[in-house]
Amino acid sequence: MVAQVVRTAAELRAASALLLAERGGRAQGLVPTMGALHEGHARLAKTAVEQNDVVVASIFVNPLQFGDAVDLDRYPRTLEADVALLEEQGVDLVFAPSVDEVYPGGEPLVRVTAGSLGEKWEGASRPGHFDGALTVVAKLLHYGIPGAGLPPAGAFVSGGGAGLPAYRAYFGQKDAQQLALVRRMVADLNFPVDIVAVPTVRSAEGLALSSRNRFLSDEELEAALVLSRALRLLEARANAHEPLDLDSAQALVASQPLVALDYFDVVDPGTLEPLAENCRKVPFRGEGLALIAAKVGPVRLIDNAPLSS
């Protein structure tokens, strides 16, 4: 099936409303991306296609979430290949707006702030990143609301009640902090959408797929595997109800000379506060999220593992 590429919010609303009506659709899915797509995005799109009648994927490299103009310029733009990948998964509409379409008056004066949840972990290394990401996610979630326009205030019922189509948006578990923040924004600010988390896709060796992996040399790719190995170690201990012994997992990462560890901790999945006791000497019980970030050569990588015992 051929995906239709639309450039403006008005075109998107008209095209999605038409498709939904033609299909007697009850559910619309949105997959927000910045392009440079890989198998991880394909999994997001495929999940959305399986669960909805109409699926929109957005491709927009959001200047607000880059701290550095060089990083923004360096971000790969691969629209043709991206559209082909999305088409293969059965996505109906690709929304690829210009910066002027999304920010017509220049950078927005009023933004979403991620608060204290956005200042730790990734936020500590990338100040302002999550404010920029949440601001554009808020806009994208509004653009993707099913139907020809916004539903009347208060009319949305999660899961498509009151005759309105269901509306779901898909985010990767790989960006665990972004996912936690999007969930909080949607809950705290009453956004009319259900957030669906999609598990991380990995290479055969275990490396979490990322658009940044393309900047790693063969030697760095090999070195980067220590991140997922360390996470697997914690998972195995959690599954066996053993103490996580985070110190030894951190030492494993530190033993790899090409890897400079930024953080590696186990946190509460909702608040992202460290679970100090559980991580070290007592048998692990309950829910946790192991978060890791490191520089491998010139590239900053993140990964995580949900833990449950």
CB of 140 to ligand PAF, least distance (A): 7
Cβ distance 46 to 172 under 8 Å? no
Q: Which stretch binds ligand PAF (CB under 6 A): 21-29, 31-39, 85-93, 298-306?
A: 31-39
Q: CB of residue 129 vs ligand PAF: minimum separation in angstroms? A: 9
**Minimal distance, residue 207 CB to ligand PAF, in Å:** 18
Q: Is residue 301 part of the contact set for ligand PAF (CB under 6 A)?
A: no
User: Is residue 34 within the footprint of ligand PAF (CB under 6 A)?
Assistant: yes
Query: Residue 133 or residue 238: which is nearer to ligand PAF going by CB?
Result: 133
Check residue 261 and report its DSSP letter. E
CB of 62 to ligand PAF, least distance (A): 4
Contact in structure between 31 and 45 (CB atoms under 8 Å) = yes
* Other Cβ atoms within 10 Å of 243 Cβ, number: 16
- x-marked contacts with ligand PAF along 266-285 as a string, rule CB under 6 A: --------------------
Sheet containing strand 166-172, edge to edge, reads 4-6, 93-95, 54-59, 27-33, 166-172, 194-198
* Residues 64, 112: Cα–Cα separation, whole Å: 11
Check residue 33 for interaction with ligand PAF (CB under 6 A): yes
Site string for ligand PAF, 117-156 (x = CB under 6 A): ----------------x--xx-------------------
Rank residues 120 and 126 by Cβ distance to ligand PAF and give the closer one: 126
Picking from 276, 236, 228, 235, the residue whose alpha carbon sits closest to that of residue 252 is 228
Instruction: Kindly report the three-state secondary structure assignment for every residue of 71-86.
Output: HHHHCCCCHHHHHHHH
Non-local (6+) Cβ contacts of 240 within 8 A are: none
**What residues form DSSP beta bridges with 168?**
29, 194
Position 158, amino acid: S
114 binds ligand PAF (CB under 6 A): no
* Beta strands 259-267 and 93-95, pairing class: unpaired
* 175 near ligand PAF, rule: CB under 6 A: yes
53 versus 175: smaller Cβ distance to ligand PAF: 175
**Residues annotated catalytic, as ranges:** 41
Closest residue by Cα to residue 131 from 116, 112, 117 = 112
Q: Which is nearer to ligand PAF, 30 or 290 (CB)?
A: 30
Q: Specify whether the CB–CB gap between 241 and 226 falls below 8 A.
A: no
**Smaller CB distance to ligand PAF: residue 12 or 133?**
133
Distance of alpha carbon 120 from alpha carbon 191, whole angstroms: 24
Residue 97 binding ligand PAF, by CB under 6 A = no
Of 58 and 278, CB closest to ligand PAF: 58
Minimum Å gap between C-beta 64 and ligand PAF is 8
Interface ranges with ligand PAF (CB under 6 A): 32-34, 62, 65, 133, 136-137, 175, 178
